[in-house]
């Protein structure tokens, strides 16, 4: 996840912040969704909810053949893998870089009625039909006897996720238990462990190629004709980071792993981990982490980098500069902000991977008639066991959750605009990015969404979908 804040004019910033403070705090207090006190109940009957589906991975998972991607069915024409944005920035040579390798994908159904889908993506570096380091989602029994699904992504150019096969209901609660996580961060005080750096293998180069941060961004020369190793490094340097999507809600049907920049324009709400390399943090703080016991922040650089971000996507910058990228504004919620979503990189808690699988973490997202509730529960560093819950209304002041409306009747078109690219090698306008009459289904994703960054493994179990009791 590439963290950034989209600048807004000073006057508007004051108005938006004032609206956020009044709107979010008021809604939170009314809904009773302030950060919750300790609750060790774990999974079990959820008050007010009826269990619709549950998957504990005790039955063998299926599989499917790898199929070569032809880029003939894109999700959009903006920053999907074959998107125009890259051509307009990098120029014709970018097409050669995209065609220098082959992408393969596969999907298979999981659980009762096939309600879950496992979706994977892999790179064939030399286009010989053999995937060098294929990702996988398989059954596993942990040493403590826990039955889990294990996600493995041995190379950062692969991706592997769970998603629902069909769109989510109008009102729902989706939850699961994370049993192990190894997508970067420190272990015993260092990012170098088990022969890896921040979760990445030390072998070869690892860059964002061919979907860089934009030709005018630091960390490389911005020349798309450069060899693979001269693109922005993901293992170290200015853009060195690893991560994992604990649970996200996206705005389109049948999501599948894609390049990381594509996702910065397609998410509604999310919880993720963002394991920055110290090179990226540099002399700064790297953001801040909330101590839910004291209500005070501490610097990310003083953490283990295994933090939990609980946040929403807001309106995008409709006219990014040359050599830049399209992407939504990012608003983070913590106990230290009283649940108010703020445009500052802020983690709500810090995981303790060394305690897993004997310690598990529960992640959940609920959608009701007024907004989304994000929940994370477990034994967090510095604070002990906590259940953190933050409710964010669909709209606060003039700051909406991006594409929150599942149905046209839930939205009046007030935030519609045109996305404009005026770049080094081309221009393009994409009108009606949120018009009246539009609707965006809710789909959740769990795992590694990105096919040009993130590498590691994780295991999870007890994915459950609830609907309201009548």
From the list 110, 168, 45, 228, the residue with the least C-alpha distance to 439 is 168
Instruction: Give the pTM.
Output: 0.91
What is the distance in angstroms between the CA of the first residue and the CA of the last residue of the chain?
38
440 in a domain, yes or no? Answer: yes
From the list 299, 242, 304, 233, the residue with the least C-alpha distance to 273 is 242
> Which tens digits make up the pLDDT trace of 86-134?
999 999 999 999 999 999 999 999 999 999 999 999 999 999 999 999 9
Q: What's the confidence (pLDDT) of residue 470?
A: 84
3 in a domain, yes or no? Answer: no
The parent domain of residue 275 ranges over 10-468
1 in a domain, yes or no? Answer: no
Q: Can you point out the beta strands (E) in 333-383?
A: 346-347, 349-350, 361-367, 371-380
From the list 425, 427, 421, 420, the residue with the least C-alpha distance to 92 is 425
Residue ranges of the chain whose pLDDT lies below 70:
1-45
Report the relative pairing of strands 346-347 and 288-291 from DSSP bridges. Answer: parallel
DSSP state of 44: S
Q: What's the confidence (pLDDT) of residue 45?
A: 57
From the list 211, 433, 217, 431, the residue with the least C-alpha distance to 321 is 217
| Rounded Cα distance, 33 and 372, in Å | 10
From the list 329, 256, 336, 392, the residue with the least C-alpha distance to 2 is 329
The number of C-alpha atoms within 13 Å of 208 and in the hemisphere containing its C-beta is: 30
Q: What's the confidence (pLDDT) of residue 333?
A: 98
109 in a domain, yes or no? Answer: yes
- The SS3 of residue 150 is strand
286 in a domain, yes or no? Answer: yes
Residue 128's contacts (CB-CB under 8 Å, 6 or more residues apart) are none
Residue 144 phi/psi, 5° resolution? -85, 10
301 in a domain, yes or no? Answer: yes
Q: What's the confidence (pLDDT) of residue 375?
A: 98
| Rounded Cα distance, 386 and 391, in Å | 16
List % helix, strand, coil for the chain (3-state, nearest 5). 15, 40, 50
Q: What's the confidence (pLDDT) of residue 215?
A: 96
As for how many domains the chain has, the answer is 1
2 in a domain, yes or no? Answer: no
Strand-pairing partners, residue 366, are 173, 373
Q: What's the confidence (pLDDT) of residue 401?
A: 98
């Amino acid at each position: 996840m590439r963290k950034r804040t989209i600048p807004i004019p000073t006057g508007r910033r004051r108005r938006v912040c004032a609206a956020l403070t009044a709107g979010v705090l008021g809604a939170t207090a009314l809904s009773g969704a302030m950060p919750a006190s300790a609750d060790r109940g774990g999974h079990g009957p959820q008050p007010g909810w009826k269990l619709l589906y549950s998957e504990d991975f005790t039955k063998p998972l299926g599989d499917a053949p790898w199929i070569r991607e032809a880029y003939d069915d894109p999700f959009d024409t903006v920053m999907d893998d074959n998107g125009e944005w890259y051509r307009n920035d990098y120029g014709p040579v970018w097409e050669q870089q995209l065609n220098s390798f082959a992408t393969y994908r596969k999907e298979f159904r999981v659980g009762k009625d096939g309600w879950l889908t496992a979706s994977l993506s892999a790179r064939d570096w030399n286009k010989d039909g053999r995937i060098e380091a294929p990702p996988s989602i398989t059954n596993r029994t942990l040493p403590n006897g826990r039955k889990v699904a294990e996600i493995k992504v041995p190379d950062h150019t692969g991706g592997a996720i769970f998603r629902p096969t069909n769109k989510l209901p109008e009102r729902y609660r989706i939850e699961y238990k994370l049993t192990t996580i190894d997508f970067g961060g420190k272990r015993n005080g260092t990012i170098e462990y088990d022969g890896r750096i921040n979760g990445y293998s030390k072998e070869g180069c690892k860059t964002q190629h061919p979907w860089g941060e934009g030709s005018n961004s630091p960390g490389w020369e911005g020349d798309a004709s450069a060899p693979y190793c001269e693109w922005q490094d993901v293992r170290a340097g200015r853009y060195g980071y690893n991560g994992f999507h604990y649970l996200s809600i996206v705005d389109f049907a049948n999501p599948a792993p894609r390049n990381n920049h594509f996702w910065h324009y397609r998410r509604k709400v999310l919880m993720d981990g963002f394991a920055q390399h110290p090179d990226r943090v540099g002399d700064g703080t790297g953001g801040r982490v909330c101590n839910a016991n004291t209500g005070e922040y501490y610097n990310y650089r003083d953490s283990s980098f295994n933090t939990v971000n609980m946040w929403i996507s807001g309106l995008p910058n409709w006219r990014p500069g040359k050599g830049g990228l399209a992407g939504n504004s990012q608003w983070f919620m913590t106990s230290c902000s009283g649940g108010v979503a703020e445009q500052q990189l802020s983690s709500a808690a810090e995981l303790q991977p060394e305690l897993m699988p004997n310690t598990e973490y529960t992640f959940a997202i609920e959608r009701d008639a007024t907004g989304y509730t994000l929940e994370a529960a477990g034994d967090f560093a510095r604070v002990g066991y906590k259940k953190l819950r933050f409710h964010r209304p669909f709209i606060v002041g003039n700051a909406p959750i991006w594409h929150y409306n599942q149905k046209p009747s839930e939205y009046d078109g007030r935030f519609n605009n045109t996305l404009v690219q005026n770049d080094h090698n081309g221009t393009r306008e994409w009108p009606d990015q949120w018009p009246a009459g539009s609707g965006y289904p809710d789909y959740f994703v769990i795992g590694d969404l990105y096919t040009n960054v993130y590498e590691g493994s994780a295991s999870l179990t007890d994915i459950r979908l609830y609907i309201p009791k009548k």
